[in-house]
Chain A
Amino acid sequence: MKLLEYQAKDVLTSLGISVPPGMVARTPDEAAAAASKLGPVAVKAQVPVGGRGKAGGIKLARTPEEARRAAEQIIGMDIKGFKVPLVYCEAALDIEREIYLGFAVDRDARANILMLSAKGGMDIELVAEESPESIARLYPNPWRGPLDFELTQLVYDAGLGELARPIGALIKKLYRAIPDYDALTAEINPLVVTKSGEVVAGDAKVEIDDNAAWRRKDLEQRYGALIEGDPYEVEAKKRGLTYVSLDGDIGIIGNGAGLCMSTLDLVQRAGGRAANFCDIGGGAKAEVVENALAVILMNPRVKGVLINVFGGITRGDEVAKGVVTARDNLKMKLPLVVRLSGTREEEGREILRRSGIEPGVNAWEAAQKIVELSSPLVGRSGPKGREGAA
């Protein structure tokens, strides 16, 4: 779960890190009210993606009237697929210098990496490309966290020796985001040193591990509902399904993430595009299949559904029964192609045939078939053969 900036700052505050005074505004009036309280403010779009500044999602406002106008422009704006639900109005800072500070998971090292750089305010990946030597790195021991001497070294390595004390103390606080919140990312960029010498978090990014939701239920309650993501993904999550929204017109159900991904690839190869996919996982029961199909069909762009199930634990007859029941219960009229393989596949295929659903022979043929059947409904010319595929 990627937190919005104001939520991430709430987390930082709970860890004892200073953030500028700020207020959330859901309407232009609220933004104006915030500016009359806080003085000059930055009006910032709250979306769980980067690059909002470039997209016009951050505006400076000197007066309440300017804040109102900025909020009018920003609320409801689309930034990388996210409709901005609200803005955060934050008191403008008197900036002396900007620093980068962040924790992230380094997949190659299988460890948390702590990065500190005097080049703050820029995209750290860009800094890493252009001047990797300007980023000081530390892999703290995950059982005890960073030690004082390690942090002293880090701060000097980053060329920030004169700030060793305040930054060292701040890093220790930020590190608590890992054990206390199951954070995968905890980034402050820029970390601002003000003209009066205070160290304040200018922006904040915190991502919390979804796998840890069972021990962070309070966070889900506090922050989860406020992020307005894809409505179908929200619904799927409520039903306990692994679901991903995409932008095509064919719905895909499969078991296993790898199989789902390769099915999307096959559909595209056949000339179609997936609208979404739902991973029903291992041991999928009839009601899970029905649930998955219901969620897939919620998206009105879906003009055909391909079900691709290879059974390890998943039983073919269970899946087939689920598919038939789901289709009937949902009164589904759209083209449906089912490819079943694995445990009790013959029984499964027989159930499908008896119910008027033709089972696909293999995944590639099934992909071509669903593209062919759905093409008239979306005005596509038809499926590409193997030769025609890119």
Chain B
Amino acid sequence: MSILIDATTTVIVQGITGREGGFHTEQMQSIGTKVVAGTSPGKGGTTHLGVPVFNTVADAVKATGATASGIFVPAPFAADAIMEAAAAGITLIVCITEGIPIQDMIRVKSFLRDYPAARLLGANCPGLITPGEAKIGIIPQRITRPGSIGLVSRSGTLTYEVGSALSAAGMGQSTIVGIGGDPVLGLTFRDVLELFEKDEATKQVVIIGEIGGSDEEHAAELLARGSRLKAVAFISGRTAPEGKRMGHAGAIISGNRGTAKSKEEAFRKAGIPVAETTDDIVGLLR
């Protein structure tokens, strides 16, 4: 079991003929992901990486019945690609693209209210992987192993770092979800934790947060209300100064809001141990 994606999920890749899209489609296929189609306007009717290419997502969905999509198109076209997927009936939209203007994402969020069945992951995220089954995005399979830990993170590379430490310690993962580092994004920590809560295969969760916003605090509030999951949290950016955007568009402390301290305190108050370094996470889960 897992959340959001498994070996049966049928996936299309938006931007499959691009360099990044093509490279990661091959990676996704190599671990068994059911990539059933790709889209690239003007290239409909061709075949790429062994799958049919369509001009639009609607055409691809009509022909293949795909339910999930991975988006690898450049930032100027990404917001439209998300809305196109939702309108075509895709229910899991994973947007890897970095650098989408915030106002575009605000319009996307408003648009998605008309498509309640569509879940958006990202943008500016590494995607998700259910080890041994399937993935959408760029999380490398080799840092994972199947198991019962749910991992949810705002950061790509820290996800790899922690996933690889867990796997090396023999602690497998049910699903790894990278929610992304943008200030306006799709699924939040809270949304993903609610899914893990309902997934019987998930016994423990690891939450990798960072400075900025208050999604970590909201996640802590949710867990404080009672959860069957044993949780461990880690927050990066403890030493970040106020007012500096620390690489991710969303990683910024404004005044006294969004600090690592506030997030760590929220988790501790909810009875959730906070790891001092990523290396400590394994020990806290034992």
The distance in angstroms between the C-alpha atoms of A343 and B138, with both chains bound, is: 13
Q: Does B158 sit at the interface, judged by CB under 8 A?
A: yes
Whether B75 and A257, one on each chain, are in contact in the complex, defined by CB atoms closer than 8 angstroms, is no
Query: Contact check: which of B99, B110, B153, B241 meets A142 at CB < 8 Å?
Result: B110
B-contacting residues, A306-328, CB 8 Å:
310-313
Could you mark each residue 189-230 of chain A with 1 if its beta carbon is under 8 Å from any beta carbon of chain B, else 0?
A: 000000000000000000001111011000000000000000
A-contacting residues, B213-266, CB 8 Å:
213-214, 218, 236-241, 243-251, 255
The distance in angstroms between the C-alpha atoms of A341 and B240, with both chains bound, is: 24
Min C-beta distance of A113 to chain B, whole Å: 11
Known: A111-B110, A341-B164. A259 touches B158 (CB 8 A): yes
A-contacting residues, B123-173, CB 8 Å:
126, 138-140, 143, 153-161, 164
Whether B76 and A274, one on each chain, are in contact in the complex, defined by CB atoms closer than 8 angstroms, is no
Nearest residue in B to A267 (C-beta to C-beta)? B239
Q: Does B7 sit at the interface, judged by CB under 8 A?
A: no
The interface-forming segment of A4-12, A178-186, A330-338 is: A178-186
Query: Contact check: which of A273, A279, A313 meets B247 at CB < 8 Å?
Result: A279
Whether B243 and A269, one on each chain, are in contact in the complex, defined by CB atoms closer than 8 angstroms, is no
Which residues from chain B contact A108 at a C-beta distance below 8 Å?
213-214, 218
Could you mark each residue 72-110 of chain B with 1 if its beta carbon is under 8 Å from any beta carbon of chain A, else 0?
A: 000110000000000000000000000111110111011
Whether B138 and A261, one on each chain, are in contact in the complex, defined by CB atoms closer than 8 angstroms, is no
Known: A256-B156, A256-B157. A142 touches B277 (CB 8 A): no
Which residues from chain B contact A247 at a C-beta distance below 8 Å?
241
Min C-beta distance of B259 to chain A, whole Å: 13
The distance in angstroms between the C-alpha atoms of A141 and B101, with both chains bound, is: 17
Max chain B Cβ within 10 angstroms of own Cβ: one of A143, A244, A265 = A265
Query: Contact check: which of A258, A279, A311 meets B158 at CB < 8 Å?
Result: A258
Whether B110 and A269, one on each chain, are in contact in the complex, defined by CB atoms closer than 8 angstroms, is no
Q: Is the interface of A mostly helix, strand, loop or mixed?
A: mixed
The distance in angstroms between the C-alpha atoms of A259 and B183, with both chains bound, is: 18
Min C-beta distance of B116 to chain A, whole Å: 15
Q: Does B211 sit at the interface, judged by CB under 8 A?
A: yes
Whether A261 and B240, one on each chain, are in contact in the complex, defined by CB atoms closer than 8 angstroms, is yes
Query: Contact check: which of A112, A125, A212, A268 meets B239 at CB < 8 Å?
Result: A268
Which residues from chain B contact A273 at a C-beta distance below 8 Å?
239
Q: Does A363 sit at the interface, judged by CB under 8 A?
A: yes
Q: Does A54 sit at the interface, judged by CB under 8 A?
A: no
Could you mark each residue 55-80 of chain B with 1 if its beta carbon is under 8 Å from any beta carbon of chain A, else 0?
A: 00000000000000000000110000
Which residues from chain A contact B99 at a C-beta distance below 8 Å?
211
Which residues from chain A contact B76 at a C-beta distance below 8 Å?
214-215
The distance in angstroms between the C-alpha atoms of A255 and B164, with both chains bound, is: 16
Could you mark each residue 10-23 of chain B with 1 if its beta carbon is under 8 Å from any beta carbon of chain A, else 0?
A: 00000000000001
Which residues from chain B contact A143 at a C-beta distance below 8 Å?
107, 110-111
Whether B278 and A211, one on each chain, are in contact in the complex, defined by CB atoms closer than 8 angstroms, is no
Whether B239 and A264, one on each chain, are in contact in the complex, defined by CB atoms closer than 8 angstroms, is yes
Could you mark each residue 337-363 of chain A with 1 if its beta carbon is under 8 Å from any beta carbon of chain B, else 0?
A: 000011100000000000000000011
Nearest residue in B to A178 (C-beta to C-beta)? B103
The distance in angstroms between the C-alpha atoms of A254 and B161, with both chains bound, is: 12
The distance in angstroms between the C-alpha atoms of A254 and B237, with both chains bound, is: 14
Query: Contact check: which of A179, A242, A269 meets B103 at CB < 8 Å?
Result: A179
Query: Contact check: which of B111, B210, B213, B244 meets A258 at CB < 8 Å?
Result: B210
Q: Does A99 sit at the interface, judged by CB under 8 A?
A: no
Q: Does B276 sit at the interface, judged by CB under 8 A?
A: yes
Nearest residue in A to B250 (C-beta to C-beta)? A107
Whether B236 and A258, one on each chain, are in contact in the complex, defined by CB atoms closer than 8 angstroms, is yes
Q: Does B121 sit at the interface, judged by CB under 8 A?
A: no
The distance in angstroms between the C-alpha atoms of A262 and B241, with both chains bound, is: 13
Which residues from chain A contact B247 at a C-beta distance below 8 Å?
242, 244, 256-258, 260-261, 277, 279
Whether B106 and A110, one on each chain, are in contact in the complex, defined by CB atoms closer than 8 angstroms, is yes
Q: Does A234 sit at the interface, judged by CB under 8 A?
A: no
The distance in angstroms between the C-alpha atoms of A179 and B214, with both chains bound, is: 26
Which residues from chain A contact B159 at a C-beta distance below 8 Å?
258
Whether A105 and B183, one on each chain, are in contact in the complex, defined by CB atoms closer than 8 angstroms, is yes
Min C-beta distance of A272 to chain B, whole Å: 10
Whether A110 and B109, one on each chain, are in contact in the complex, defined by CB atoms closer than 8 angstroms, is yes
Whether A310 and B160, one on each chain, are in contact in the complex, defined by CB atoms closer than 8 angstroms, is yes
Q: Does A282 sit at the interface, judged by CB under 8 A?
A: yes
The distance in angstroms between the C-alpha atoms of A312 and B164, with both chains bound, is: 11
Whether B138 and A312, one on each chain, are in contact in the complex, defined by CB atoms closer than 8 angstroms, is yes
Which residues from chain B contact A112 at a C-beta distance below 8 Å?
103, 106
Q: Does B53 sit at the interface, judged by CB under 8 A?
A: no
A-contacting residues, B177-213, CB 8 Å:
181, 183-185, 208, 210-213
Which residues from chain A contact B248 at a C-beta distance below 8 Å?
257-258
Which residues from chain A contact B276 at a C-beta distance below 8 Å?
269, 389
Which residues from chain A contact B110 at a C-beta distance below 8 Å?
111, 141-143
Which residues from chain A contact B279 at a C-beta distance below 8 Å?
362-364
The distance in angstroms between the C-alpha atoms of A157 and B218, with both chains bound, is: 29
Can you sample 13 A-B contacts with CB below 8 Å?
Answer: A111-B109, A141-B110, A142-B107, A182-B102, A209-B103, A210-B249, A256-B155, A257-B251, A259-B236, A265-B236, A265-B238, A363-B278, A389-B276
Give residues in A with beta carbon < 8 Å to B.
Answer: 49, 105, 107-108, 110-112, 125, 141-143, 178-179, 182, 184, 209-212, 214-215, 242, 244, 246-247, 254-262, 264-266, 268-269, 273-274, 277, 279, 282, 310-313, 341-343, 362-364, 389
Give residues in B with beta carbon < 8 Å to A.
Answer: 23, 75-76, 99-103, 105-107, 109-111, 126, 138-140, 143, 153-161, 164, 181, 183-185, 208, 210-214, 218, 236-241, 243-251, 255, 276-279
Which 10 A-B residue pairings sit nearest by Cβ, starting from the closest? A258-B155, A257-B247, A256-B157, A259-B157, A212-B101, A262-B236, A257-B248, A258-B158, A261-B236, A261-B237
